[in-house]
Amino acid sequence: MSILNNIRIALRALKANKLRSSLTVLGIVIGVAAVVALLSIGKGATSGITSQVQGMGTNLVVISSSRFFRPGAEATSVSLLYSDYQAIVSEVKNIASSTPYFESNETVAASTRSSNYTIIGVTPSYEKVTLQTIDLGRFITSEDGLTLKRVAVIGSTVSSDLFQGLNPIGRTIKINNVDFEIVGVLTSKGTSGFMSGDSDVLIPLETGYSKIFGARARSNGKNVLSGISISAADANSVNSVVSESETVLRSQHNLGLKDTLPFSVSSQAQMLSSLSSITATMTALLGAIAGISLLVGGIGIMNITLVSVTERTREIGLRKAVGAPRKAILFQFLVETVTLSLIGGVLGIAFGSAIAGVVSFLGLITAVITWDVLILAFTFSALIGLFFGIYPAWQASKLSPIEALRYE
């Protein structure tokens, strides 16, 4: 009994039952494709977030009134003030540059289009501290702020959304119905989502206070900030900048050492470690979804196998009756399931990668396809395929031909 002969028998059986074969393949394809797509997108999102934080610069210290980097912290009524920024700049040592900012979501309109964007009031040093670069035009200058000019620098996504490829420099947009002239466009950072700046509209902080942000940016008559970004002089001074800033903030707000600081002061390293718990959760979530897809795919395979088990048991009975030894039967089913698993696995990888590719192409998340994901997806579904393909055959081949033929 040659191996080639057995392979021919198996392929012939697959060909004779095209519907059953393709449904089994479909089950494997669904499982593999879902796992590949979900895990790739998950990995892409995770590494995207991490690289964006890294892209902010290793010497970065961020003081924020938001709770984002301090999960579990309570909401507070204490505001970060512009005067806090001034105190930090004058008292903390080893600051290379720093920028205060205030951000809020506003409606932005250009001719017929309008949409909501994050409007950030900034100072000229924002460009350097947050590692932005100008693609077209110029950045905001200190003169813009001092003279309360209504000028704006927009992110690349905003530019393409509102102007569809036209040069936006010199054009006018309305932010909450106030006219602003576009003087610059930021270079895209290439990644989307959190903190990229591509979807931001930057205006001079002073102009923002007087024309846009209104009462939300004022607390007891003082100007409020969303945050302060500080670039430490070098990597070694990051920790001292963090602790000195905290000290300044405490004294500014009359807080003792034991009081909880109502702001977060964090370095990039701290942000990365906070993020790692978020990304770990995300990976676990995606892993769970992928596991469910594999289960669904596996159940698909199992259903097809179980539905056809009567017919196949009779087929086994017949093959044995005309002289097939048990070994040949098992080998036939092994080749059948291996073939289906291979086809399904390859198609599933192609299909899953295509989904990941489309997601990346649409600019939602840059999916990262790695070998371990492909191997994991393929191995799992191949094992499920093999088990559900061979187990019934193994059972049926134990029956005598006459029992198998009478199986119902």
Partner 1 sequence: MIEAREITKIYKLGDDEVHALDGVSLKINDGEMVAIMGPSGSGKSTLMAILGCLDTPTSGEYLVDDQPAAGLKENQLASLRAHKIGFVFQQFNLLPRTSALENVMLPLTYDGTKIKDRIARAEEALETVGLKDRMKHHPNQLSGGQQQRVAIARALVNDPALLLADEPTGNLDSKTGAEIMALFQELHTTKHQTVVYVTHDSFVARHTERIIHLMDGKVVRDEINKNPIKAGTPRPDDLLANGNGKNGAEVHQ
**What whole-number distance in Å separates Cα of residue 70 and Cα of residue 266?**
9
Beta bridge partners of 173: 180
Question: C-beta of 9: minimal distance to partner 1 in Å?
Answer: 6
400 lines the binding site for partner 1 (CB under 8 A): yes
**What whole-number distance in Å separates Cα of residue 312 and Cα of residue 321?**
14
278 lines the binding site for partner 1 (CB under 8 A): no
80 lines the binding site for partner 1 (CB under 8 A): no
Local structure of 219: helix, strand or coil: strand
Question: C-beta of 278: minimal distance to partner 1 in Å?
Answer: 54
**What whole-number distance in Å separates Cα of residue 89 and Cα of residue 134?**
26
**What whole-number distance in Å separates Cα of residue 267 and Cα of residue 87?**
19
115 lines the binding site for partner 1 (CB under 8 A): no
Cβ-based nearer residue to partner 1, 7 or 364 = 7
Q: Contact at 8 Å (CB) between 97 and 233?
A: no
312 lines the binding site for partner 1 (CB under 8 A): no
310 lines the binding site for partner 1 (CB under 8 A): no
User: What angle do the packed helices 309-321 and 268-307 form, to 10 degrees?
Assistant: 60
**What whole-number distance in Å separates Cα of residue 266 and Cα of residue 272?**
10
Cβ-based nearer residue to partner 1, 296 or 318 = 318
Question: C-beta of 379: minimal distance to partner 1 in Å?
Answer: 32
8 lines the binding site for partner 1 (CB under 8 A): yes
**What are φ and ψ of residue 226, in 5° steps?**
-80, -35
Cβ-based nearer residue to partner 1, 257 or 322 = 322
328 lines the binding site for partner 1 (CB under 8 A): yes
**What whole-number distance in Å separates Cα of residue 275 and Cα of residue 283?**
12
Question: C-beta of 310: minimal distance to partner 1 in Å?
Answer: 12
395 lines the binding site for partner 1 (CB under 8 A): no
Give the binding site for partner 1 (CB under 8 A). 1, 5, 8-9, 12, 16-17, 311, 314-315, 317-328, 400-402, 405
